């Protein structure tokens, strides 16, 4: 359920105004929350993966970023922003804090379910992931408070019913979410290191440890996938790889290019940024998925702009032209979905 002003809004502006700015509309606070086959997940066989599991467990237990997210660090802007640029920055913070908190809730629930099922090792494993997501959400919350905005995170999860997804869907989507997040953060970090004058807020100084958390989380999920070879073998593995890669890449293109003002604020071309993130994520996914898209002929990347234009035309159209515009958009994304893939040599246990 979408939050409304009469249902204890989760977002408050403390700058003396009674209304929230348009970019902070409560509709932004509508992430999806998931539930899955917890009993099945608790039967994960770590037998052949035990050595790798212990190594990743120790790495997560060490908590390399324990002191990196300094709670006393100033998160005020380094320079005065125009009202429009300020709105862009704050909108990014709101979307990001909700995304991180959504991840925290999911990992926390998985951890609790594992512990209840007597799988203390896996329960602690996912508690480490929940710890990192909570730390990220808290840090973003502090950045918003520096802007005079409070996000009531505990209330967010109570406003939406959980959506059930099979375990395989959850693992495929989680892996991609973490790895594409890694590439977003690391590419922004590299750009701002080369162009420090574009780092409009100290928040960006923390993107390097942040992206390392995302990378480790992806490796944790990859381990879980390897323990379920049925999820990655045969036709099922090919279809799941295709569907989730296509879905995540399509969503990324529409999100980044439609909200390109944030990247432009940092001096980044959103179209080129989107392309590089997709290429790098596709390459990284070779380590986990049985199939990835083949970009050699360039068609997948070229079609992004056609899809984006069709999407914008559909949104801008009305009357009889709207279903025609929608039809063209759907036709393009289905053509992209069906583009060639190539088999990988991802390791699987079992």
User: DSSP for 124-155?
Assistant: HHHHHHHHHHHHHHHHHHHHHHHTTEEE-HHH
Residue 240, pLDDT > 70, answer: yes
Helix axes 234-258, 270-284, angle to 10 degrees: 160
Averaged pLDDT of the chain = 86
d(CA 282, CA 245): 8
d(CA 49, CA 120): 16
Instruction: Give the residues across from 149 on adjacent strands.
Output: 13
- 268 close to 188: Cβ distance less than 8 angstroms: yes
State the residue for tokens 């896996």.
Answer: 122
- 122 close to 42: Cβ distance less than 8 angstroms: yes
Q: What residue ranges do the domains of the chain occupy? A: 37-293, 294-344
Please give the pLDDT value at position 161.
66
Q: Which two tokens stand for residue 326?
A: 């929608």
pLDDT tens track for 27-75 = 443 455 677 888 899 999 999 999 999 999 999 999 988 888 777 777 7
d(CA 239, CA 223): 20
pLDDT tens track for 323-344 = 999 999 999 999 999 999 999 9
C-alpha atoms less than 13 angstroms from C-alpha of 250 in its C-beta half-sphere: 19
Please give the pLDDT value at position 12.
55
Distance of CA 167 to the CA centre of its chain: 18
15: confidence class by pLDDT, cuts 50, 70, 90: low
pLDDT tens track for 248-281 = 999 999 989 888 899 999 999 999 999 999 999 9
Task: Tell me which of 142-151, 155-164, 289-298 is least confident.
Answer: 155-164
pLDDT tens track for 193-205 = 999 989 888 888 8
- 128 close to 107: Cβ distance less than 8 angstroms: no
Count CB-CB contacts under 10 A for residue 308: 20
Q: Which two tokens stand for residue 328?
A: 């063209």
- CATH class label, 37-293: mainly alpha
Q: What is the mean pLDDT of residues 167-177?
A: 94
d(CA 337, CA 292): 12
């Amino acid at each position: 359920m979408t939050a409304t002003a009469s249902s204890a809004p989760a977002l408050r502006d403390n700058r003396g105004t009674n209304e929230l700015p348009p970019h902070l509309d409560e509709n932004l606070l509508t992430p999806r929350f998931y539930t899955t086959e917890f009993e099945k997940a608790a039967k994960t066989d770590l037998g052949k993966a035990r050595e790798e599991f212990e190594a990743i467990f120790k790495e997560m237990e060490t908590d390399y970023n324990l002191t990196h997210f300094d709670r006393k660090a100033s998160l005020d802007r380094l320079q005065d922003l125009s009202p429009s640029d300020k709105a862009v920055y704050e909108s990014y913070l709101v979307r990001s804090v909700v995304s991180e908190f959504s991840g925290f809730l999911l990992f926390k629930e998985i951890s609790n379910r594992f512990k209840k099922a007597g799988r203390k090792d896996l329960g602690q494993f996912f508690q480490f992931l929940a710890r990192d997501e909570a730390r990220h959400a808290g840090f973003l919350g502090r950045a918003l408070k520096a802007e005079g905005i409070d996000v009531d995170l505990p209330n967010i999860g109570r406003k939406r019913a959980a959506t059930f997804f099979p375990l395989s869907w959850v693992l495929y989507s989680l892996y991609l979410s973490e790895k594409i997040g890694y590439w977003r953060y690391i590419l922004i970090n590299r750009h701002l290191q080369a162009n420090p004058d574009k780092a409009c807020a100290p928040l960006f100084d923390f993107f390097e440890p942040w992206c390392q958390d995302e990378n480790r989380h992806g490796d944790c999920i990859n381990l879980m996938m390897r323990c379920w070879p049925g999820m990655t073998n045969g036709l099922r593995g090919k279809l799941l790889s295709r569907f989730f890669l296509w879905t995540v890449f399509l969503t990324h293109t529409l999100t980044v290019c439609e909200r390109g003002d944030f990247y432009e604020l940092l001096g980044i071309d959103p179209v080129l940024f989107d392309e590089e993130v997709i290429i790098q994520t596709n390459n990284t996914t070779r380590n986990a998925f049985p199939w990835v898209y083949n970009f050699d002929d360039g068609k997948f990347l070229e079609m992004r702009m056609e899809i984006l234009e069709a999407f914008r035309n559909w949104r801008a159209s009305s009357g009889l032209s709207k279903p025609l515009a929608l039809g063209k958009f759907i036709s393009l994304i289905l053509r992209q979905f069906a583009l060639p893939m190539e088999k990988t040599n991802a390791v699987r246990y079992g």
